[in-house]
C-alpha cells in the first residue's frame, strides 16, 4: 500500500518521540552521542547554507511578487518537475521519517508543516526547531519539506548549479532539498516561506530575537553575525520569546519557531550559560568535534567555524513558552562598526529606521575571511536579505507603518570599535553596551537630550546613566580628529553607494540616511 508521495506505508516512520528518533539516528550511524547527551552529526561537504543552490519556482504565483535577484534565483517549471520526479523515485522504496510541526506561535497565523527526512538525525532537528504538532491526525499540511541529502543532482544537466538543490514551490507548497545535509536549509526554507506569505496579511516578518519584561514591555533585536544579537537579547531579567524569527501583527509579535539554532563556536559556559546549559539530551550539535572522552570541543573549528547547536526553547529557563509578546516598545538595530566612527547609540526617526533597516550594515573584520586584511563594509538588507522573497522596500514600508502606528522607539547601537578603527581603537566594552541597551528598552531615553551627528544624520544622547559622556561622542575618542572625519565620510559614502540599489525608495527615507561626505 502506498500513501503520501508514494512512500510505502511500512517505510513511513511517524509519531516517533525525539528519544526514539535519536536512538534511530545513533543506531543507523547518522549521529553519535556526546557526553552531555547531545546528538552530534557531521554534515559533510556542506557546513552552511548554499545560497547559489536555492531556487524559487517561477510561475503565476511568484512571477510578479518575488524580487528576482542574487538572493532569489528563479527556476523554470520543467526543471522543477524533473527534479521533483527524481525525488519521488528516490523516496518510493526508502524509509522516510515524518515530522509534523508548525511555523508560527500565533494560532491565527500558523502553518502546518510536514517534514519528510531520509536521515533520522535531520528528523530530530526538525522535531526540535519547529513548534511541535504531534496531535495532528492525517497528512494535511500547509507546506511540506522533503529532505533527501543522499540524492545528488547532476548540476547543469539537471538545470541547477551543483549536486545540491533547495527548491521552493509556492503554488504546490512543496520544498525539495537534496544533496546537502546541512539542517539550516530546512529551517531557512520555512523562514523564507513565512517571509513571502505574511506581508499579504499586513504582518511584518523579521529576522530578529525578542524578549519581554515582567510588565509586558517587548523588545526586538536585529543584527548580523558578530554584532551581539544573541548575547544582548539574553537577559535573565526578561523572558526570551525567541532567538531568530518573528512576525509582527497589530496585536503583538510571535515566534515562528519552537526551538533555537545557536552558533556553538567558542561557546562560553559563563558568558553564554543559558545556551551552554541547553545543550543536553534532545539537542543536536552540527559539526562540533568531540574529544577522546566524547566531550564537545567548542573551540575546534577544524570542520567549520559555523558549528551549530539546536535545542527546543523550553530548554532555556526564562523562555516564554507560548512564543508570543506584545507590541514592541523598543527595537534595537545592532551593528559592529569596525571603523570606529558610528556613535555607540543613536535614536532613529521612523524614516531613519526604514533607512537602516534597508541598509543592514555591519563590518567584516580582518582575519575572519581569507583575503580580508582591512575592515570591510557589509550590507544585508533587513538584517537577513537572503531569506526575503519580496522587494526590500515592501518590508521597510511595513516596518515604518508599524512603528509610527504604535509609537515604537528604534535605536541603532554600535557594538564595534571606538577610539579608532579595528587594530587602532578598542572594542566597545560589553557591560557599557548592556547599560545602553537597558536604557533604551526601559524607556529611559524617551525624554533624553540629544545632539545631532551631521555626517551620519543621527540623534545621539548626550548622557546615559553609568556611561562617560565623552564615550557617546566617537570623534572625541579619536586622537587624530582629521582621521576620524575622513573615515566617517568614507563610511557615510559606503551607506550612500549601497542605498543607490534601491532607486524607487521614497525621498523621505533617502534623506534620513548619512549626508554626502
Residues 265, 72: Cα–Cα separation, whole Å: 29
- State mean pLDDT over 210-233: 91
pLDDT tens for 21-39 read: 999 999 999 999 999 999 9
* Nearest alpha carbon to residue 257 among 106, 142, 101, 103: 103
How large is the C-alpha radius of gyration of the chain?
23
What's the pLDDT at 226?
79
What's the pLDDT at 78?
97
Tell whether the model's pLDDT for residue 367 goes beyond 50. no
- State mean pLDDT over 382-396: 95
What's the pLDDT at 134?
87
Catalytic residue among 207, 238, 347, 402: 207
Catalytic status, residue 475 = no
Catalytic status, residue 238 = no
Please report where in the chains the cell 533520522 appears, as a residue. Answer: 120
Catalytic status, residue 486 = no
pTM for the structure as a whole: 0.94
What's the pLDDT at 374?
66
Catalytic status, residue 418 = no
Catalytic status, residue 225 = yes
pLDDT tens for 104-139 read: 999 999 999 999 999 999 999 999 999 999 889 999
Catalytic residue among 225, 304, 476, 515: 225
3-state secondary structure of 145: strand
What's the pLDDT at 502?
93
What's the pLDDT at 99?
97
Residues 472, 493: Cα–Cα separation, whole Å: 22
- Mean pLDDT, the chain, integer: 94
3-state secondary structure of 275: helix
Catalytic status, residue 497 = no
Catalytic status, residue 49 = yes
Tell whether the model's pLDDT for residue 441 goes beyond 50. yes
- State mean pLDDT over 327-351: 97
* Nearest alpha carbon to residue 126 among 190, 200, 215: 190
| Percent of the chain scoring above 70 in pLDDT | 97
Instruction: Using pLDDT thresholds of 50, 70 and 90, give the confidence band for residue 456.
Output: very high
Q: Which grid cell sits at 196? A: 513571502
Residue partners of 248: CB distance under 8 A and separation at least 6: 203, 204, 206, 327, 328, 402
- State mean pLDDT over 162-184: 97
Catalytic residue among 84, 86, 188, 347: 188
Homologous superfamily of 261-314 in CATH? Phosphoenolpyruvate Carboxykinase, domain 2 (2.170.8.10)
366 or 453: whose pLDDT is higher? 453
Catalytic residue among 30, 47, 49, 329: 49
| Percent of the chain scoring above 90 in pLDDT | 89
What's the pLDDT at 460?
98
Tell whether the model's pLDDT for residue 368 goes beyond 50. no
CATH class of domain segment(s) 9-28+53-202: alpha beta
Burial per residue of 268-302, b for 16 or more beta-carbon CB atoms within 10 angstroms, e otherwise: eeeebebbbebbeebbbbbbbbbeeeeebebeeee
pLDDT tens for 175-201 read: 999 999 999 999 999 999 999 999 999
3-state secondary structure of 22: helix
Domain boundaries, the chain: 9-28+53-202, 209-243+327-510, 261-314
Catalytic residue among 230, 346, 378, 415: 230
CATH class of domain segment(s) 209-243+327-510: alpha beta
Element (H, E) at 245: strand 245-248
Instruction: Using pLDDT thresholds of 50, 70 and 90, give the confidence band for residue 365.
Output: low
Catalytic residue among 86, 246, 308, 320: 308
Residues 206, 12: Cα–Cα separation, whole Å: 35
What's the pLDDT at 516?
64
pLDDT tens for 249-289 read: 999 999 999 999 998 999 999 888 889 999 999 999 999 99
Instruction: Using pLDDT thresholds of 50, 70 and 90, give the confidence band for residue 366.
Output: very low
pLDDT tens for 38-94 read: 999 999 999 999 999 999 999 999 999 999 998 999 999 999 999 999 999 999 999
Residues 104, 41: Cα–Cα separation, whole Å: 27
Residue partners of 460: CB distance under 8 A and separation at least 6: 343, 345, 346, 347, 450, 451, 452, 453, 472, 473
- State mean pLDDT over 358-379: 71
Tell whether the model's pLDDT for residue 377 goes beyond 90. no
Residue partners of 74: CB distance under 8 A and separation at least 6: 55, 56, 57, 58, 62, 66, 68
Instruction: Using pLDDT thresholds of 50, 70 and 90, give the confidence band for residue 373.
Output: low
What's the pLDDT at 2?
45
Catalytic status, residue 180 = no
Tell whether the model's pLDDT for residue 360 goes beyond 90. yes
What's the pLDDT at 30?
97
Catalytic residue among 244, 329, 409, 453: 244
What's the pLDDT at 244?
94
Amino acid at each position: 500500500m502506498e500513501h503520501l508521495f508514494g512512500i510505502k506505508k511500512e517505510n513511513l516512520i511517524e509519531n516517533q518521540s525525539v528519544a526514539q528518533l535519536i536512538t534511530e539516528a545513533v543506531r543507523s550511524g547518522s549521529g553519535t552521542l556526546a557526553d552531555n547527551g547531545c546528538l552530534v552529526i557531521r554534515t559533510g561537504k556542506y557546513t552552511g547554507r548554499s545560497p547559489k543552490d536555492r531556487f524559487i519556482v517561477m510561475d503565476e504565483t511568484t512571477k510578479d511578487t518575488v524580487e528576482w535577484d542574487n538572493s532569489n534565483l528563479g527556476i523554470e517549471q520543467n526543471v522543477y518537475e524533473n527534479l521533483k520526479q527524481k525525488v519521488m523515485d528516490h523516496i518510493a522504496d526508502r524509509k522516510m521519517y515524518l515530522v509534523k510541526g508548525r511555523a508560527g506561535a500565533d494560532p491565527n497565523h500558523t502553518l502546518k508543516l510536514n517534514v519528510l527526512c531520509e536521515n533520522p538525525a535531520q528528523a530530530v532537528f526538525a522535531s526540535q526547531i519547529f513548534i511541535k504538532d504531534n496531535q495532528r491526525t492525517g497528512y494535511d499540511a500547509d507546506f511540506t519539506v522533503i529532505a533527501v541529502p543522499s540524492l545528488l543532482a547532476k548540476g547543469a544537466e539537471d538545470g541547477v548549479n551543483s549536486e545540491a538543490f533547495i527548491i521552493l514551490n509556492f503554488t504546490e507548497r512543496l520544498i525539495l532539498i537534496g544533496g546537502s545535509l546541512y539542517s539550516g536549509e530546512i529551517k531557512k526554507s520555512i523562514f523564507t516561506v513565512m517571509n513571502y506569505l505574511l506581508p499579504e496579511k499586513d504582518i511584518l516578518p523579521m529576522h530578529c530575537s525578542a524578549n519581554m519584561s515582567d510588565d509586558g514591555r517587548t523588545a526586538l533585536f536585529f543584527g548580523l553575525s558578530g554584532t551581539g544579537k544573541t548575547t544582548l537579547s539574553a537577559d535573565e531579567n526578561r523572558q526570551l520569546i525567541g532567538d531568530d524569527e518573528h512576525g509582527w501583527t497589530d496585536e503583538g509579535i510571535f515566534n515562528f519557531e519552537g526551538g533555537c539554532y545557536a552558533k556553538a563556536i567558542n561557546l562560553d559556559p559563563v558568558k553564554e550559560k543559558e545556551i551552554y546549559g541547553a545543550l543536553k539530551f534532545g539537542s543536536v550539535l552540527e559539526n562540533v568535534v568531540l574529544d577522546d572522552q566524547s566531550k564537545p570541543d567548542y573551540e575546534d573549528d577544524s570542520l567549520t567555524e559555523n558549528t551549530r547547536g539546536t535545542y527546543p526553547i523550553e530548554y532555556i529557563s526564562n523562555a516564554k513558552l507560548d512564543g508570543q509578546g506584545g507590541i514592541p516598545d523598543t527595537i534595537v538595530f545592532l551593528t559592529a562598526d569596525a571603523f570606529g566612527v558610528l556613535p555607540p547609540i543613536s535614536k532613529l526617526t521612523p524614516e531613519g529606521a526604514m533607512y537602516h533597516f534597508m541598509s543592514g550594515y555591519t563590518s567584516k573584520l580582518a582575519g575572519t575571511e581569507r583575503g580580508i586584511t582591512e575592515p570591510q563594509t557589509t550590507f544585508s538588507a533587513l538584517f537577513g536579505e537572503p531569506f526575503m522573497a519580496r522587494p526590500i522596500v515592501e518590508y521597510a514600508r511595513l516596518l515604518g507603518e508599524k512603528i509610527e502606528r504604535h509609537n515604537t522607539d528604534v535605536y541603532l547601537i554600535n557594538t564595534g570599535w571606538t577610539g579608532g578603527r579595528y587594530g587602532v581603537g578598542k572594542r566597545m566594552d560589553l557591560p557599557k553596551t548592556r547599560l545602553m541597551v537597558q536604557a533604551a528598552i526601559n524607556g529611559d531615553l524617551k525624554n533624553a537630550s540629544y545632539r545631532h551627528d551631521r555626517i551620519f544624520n543621527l540623534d545621539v544622547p548626550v548622557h546615559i546613566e553609568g556611561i562617560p559622556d565623552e564615550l557617546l561622542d566617537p570623534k572625541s575618542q579619536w586622537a587624530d580628529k582629521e582621521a576620524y572625519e575622513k573615515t566617517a565620510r568614507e563610511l557615510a559614502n559606503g551607506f550612500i553607494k549601497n542605498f543607490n540599489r534601491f532607486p524607487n525608495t521614497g525621498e523621505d527615507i533617502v534623506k534620513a540616511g548619512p549626508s554626502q561626505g
